[in-house]
Every structure is written in C-alpha cells, then in structure tokens.
Amino acid sequence: MVYPNNYRLLGVAAALAVVALTGCSSSGGGAGGGTSIAFVAGKTGDPFYITMKCGASAEAKKLGYAFSATGSADWSVPEQVDAVNSVAANRPSGVLISPVDPNSLAAPVKTLQSAGAKVAVVDTSLTDGSLGVTHISSNNLQGGQKAADTMAQLLGTTGEIVVLTPDLTTTTTNARIQGFKQQLAAKYPGLTIDDVRQVGDTAQGAASAVGDELSAHPGVTGIFTANSQTGEGVGTGLKNAGKQGRIKVVSFDAGPAQVQALQSGSVDALISQDPYGIGQQAVDQLGNAIGKKPVTATIQTDLASITRDNLKDPATARFLYKADCTS
C-alpha cells in the first residue's frame, strides 16, 4: 500500500489517542520486580485484539509485571510504526506485537530489540523469522482446513464458492485461504472456488463485493470470509441481494458481532481462534526470555468450528471473543 505523507501525521495523532484510550497498567513487585510488558495490537478496536490484550494483561498482573497496550486504530502501517516508536521510547522489558505488514514492521522491531526489549511476534508474522524470541499464532493453515470441512458439511459434495479476504499480503489470512484451497482439492473436488476477492478490511467493502460476485458467478452456493470484518459485511450483502439463508457462509473469528450474525442466521459457521490464550502465552514466554529461562520459539494455538448447534457448549466458551476485559 502507498500512503500519502499527511497520513503519517494522522497516524501519530491516532496512535497517541489509542495510547490514551487503550493503555492500562497492572504493576506490582514480587516476581516481576521492574519488569514491564507492552502490547502493540494490529487493530485496537477489533474484539480479537481486545481479547488478546485481556489475556496478556491478566497474565502480566498474575506475574507482577507492569502492562500497557497500544497499536493501530486501523490496519495501518504508519499508525503501527508510530505506536512502536512510542513504546520504544518507554524502554519496556518485553513487547508483544502483531505486525500489520510482514516487511514494513521489521525495522521498528529491530529498533525495539536494539533497545533491549524481548519481542514476541503474535498472530501475524514477519518475513524475517529471526526477529522475535517467540512466535505465537493460531494454526491458520489448519483453520482454513476446518473452514473447508465445515463448508462441505453445509453444502454436501458439490457447490461453487467465493472467498472474500481483506488483502493478499497479510500472512494470517493468506494461510487460511491456502488451507481452505488445499483441503477442498484433497477431500472435496466437487466444491470449486469461483473467485478469491480482495475487499479491504471493512464490512462495507465485503457487503458491496457480495453483489458483484453473485452477478459474476450466479451459481455460487457458499462464501468463505477470511477475517471478522469481511464476515460482518456478508450478511448485509446477501440480504441486499435477496439471498440470505440460501447461500451458506463460513466466516473467521467469533467476536460479539460474529456471534450475533451466527444466531440470526446471517452466517452458518464461525472458525474461531484463541486470542486470550495467545496473549497469556506471549507474556509467559517473554517472562522466560527476560529471566534467561528456556523459551519456546514457535507456538501454534487451537481453533474451533462454531455452529448454532454447539454455540452454548461449555467447551466453546474460551473461543468466544470479548468486547472488553470486564465481560
């Protein structure tokens, strides 16, 4: 993406606003001493990252570490770079960061490490895998495979599918699409993909794209959306096209809006991650690195396929995202 110069100024203002709105602290002595942990989210208002922040904050409090949180208000390289620079100025002991771009965030992460911070790369990844002491994310390839299995349960042995994704640069969504394609090809050859469409990271973009895809591919029977924002817009798009309930939808993530869409019938299944657990484990691994204890370099967390049938199952509860840390 190319950003105008004045966008960087907007990014600075947004980043400072995010610090004020989302920063929190839980300091204490004991095991943590003077240890401080900072979280730099990919998109601060997204329930996925809110839930990750909740897990990280709770674990930091448990271990006696000071904790703060910031990040991009939008999925924006300039905003996140400015947020990282702000964090680096405070010289934290450890930082968990979800990079919004696999290349552009490499230099800021190097700056953090040069200043002495241990870095956990969470959710998304960097092209330079040597950066960060630990890398923790959902098994997104497996998530895409689960989405394909779930779609096959909904459609049967034949059908035409459209895939909606925010972009083709984000590592997590790319892995989900790859897993989805691989599983269809290996197990469900009668289910074909008509198109993989970039719609931007907004519900509005996804809603608009649905109408275009149905016009271009009138035989579509299923839609797979690769993240929460695209999933939020599909129901609106199908309703506008008079197709809600007639086309099966499998969407990633399980924030409050996604769960409501599932309950209302706008989507038929959610592939959910464990962001709370990612936050917890990142703080644990950073604590190990700071304390010169063994660190697990790569951790992949579980996912779940959630339908209206198992939504109330107690085992599903940990895969439902939070709107805030008090809920």
The answer on 279 and 169 residing in a single domain is no
Q: Which domain holds residue 84?
A: 5-132+274-301
* Residue 161 lies inside a defined structural domain of this protein: yes
Q: Supply the pLDDT for residue 327.
A: 74
* Residue 79 lies inside a defined structural domain of this protein: yes
Q: How confident is the model at residue 232 (pLDDT cuts 50, 70, 90)?
A: confident
pTM score: 0.80
The answer on 103 and 173 residing in a single domain is no
The answer on 236 and 163 residing in a single domain is yes
Measured distance CA(180)–CA(160) in Å, rounded: 14
* Residue 323 lies inside a defined structural domain of this protein: no
Question: Comparing 31-35, 84-88, 90-94, which segment has the lowest mean pLDDT?
Answer: 31-35
- What are the backbone angles phi and psi of residue 193, rounded to the nearest 5°? -100, 120
The answer on 201 and 144 residing in a single domain is yes
* Residue 228 lies inside a defined structural domain of this protein: yes
Q: How confident is the model at residue 178 (pLDDT cuts 50, 70, 90)?
A: very high
Quick check: 36 pLDDT over 50?
A: yes
Quick check: 10 pLDDT over 70?
A: no
The answer on 241 and 165 residing in a single domain is yes
Task: Indicate the number of domains in the chain.
Answer: 2
Of 112, 77, 83, nearest to 15 (Cα)? 83
Residue 198's CATH number: 3.40.50.2300
Stretch (H or E) spanning 262: helix 256-264
Q: Percentage of residues in the chain with pLDDT exceeding 70?
A: 90
Question: Comparing 18-27, 126-135, 306-315, which segment has the lowest mean pLDDT?
Answer: 18-27
* Residue 262 lies inside a defined structural domain of this protein: yes
Beta strands in the chain (DSSP E): 36-41, 66-71, 94-97, 118-122, 134-138, 159-165, 191-198, 220-225, 248-252, 269-272, 298-301, 304-306
Task: Give 106-162 pLDDT, tens digit per residue.
Answer: 999 999 999 999 999 999 999 999 999 999 999 999 999 999 999 999 999 999 999
The answer on 61 and 49 residing in a single domain is yes
Question: Comparing 1-10, 37-46, 315-324, which segment has the lowest mean pLDDT?
Answer: 1-10
Give the rounded distance of the alpha carbon of 158 from its chain centre.
30
Q: How confident is the model at residue 231 (pLDDT cuts 50, 70, 90)?
A: confident
* Residue 322 lies inside a defined structural domain of this protein: no
Tokens encoding 248: 């099966």
The answer on 108 and 208 residing in a single domain is no
The answer on 168 and 91 residing in a single domain is no
* Residue 326 lies inside a defined structural domain of this protein: no
Q: Percentage of residues in the chain with pLDDT exceeding 90?
A: 80
Q: Supply the pLDDT for residue 170.
A: 85
Q: Supply the pLDDT for residue 5.
A: 36
The answer on 150 and 68 residing in a single domain is no
Tokens encoding 180: 């989805």
Q: How confident is the model at residue 11 (pLDDT cuts 50, 70, 90)?
A: very low
Quick check: 29 pLDDT over 60?
A: no
Task: Give 236-287 pLDDT, tens digit per residue.
Answer: 999 999 998 899 999 999 999 899 999 999 999 999 999 999 999 999 999 9
The answer on 165 and 103 residing in a single domain is no
Tokens encoding 270: 């959610």
Q: How confident is the model at residue 202 (pLDDT cuts 50, 70, 90)?
A: confident
Quick check: 1 pLDDT over 60?
A: no
The answer on 121 and 187 residing in a single domain is no
The answer on 253 and 159 residing in a single domain is yes
Quick check: 68 pLDDT over 50?
A: yes
Residue 246 to residues 43, 81, 97, 160, 243, Cα–Cα distance (Å): 32, 43, 40, 13, 5
* Residue 318 lies inside a defined structural domain of this protein: no
Measured distance CA(319)–CA(252) in Å, rounded: 12
Mean of per-residue pLDDT scores for the chain: 89
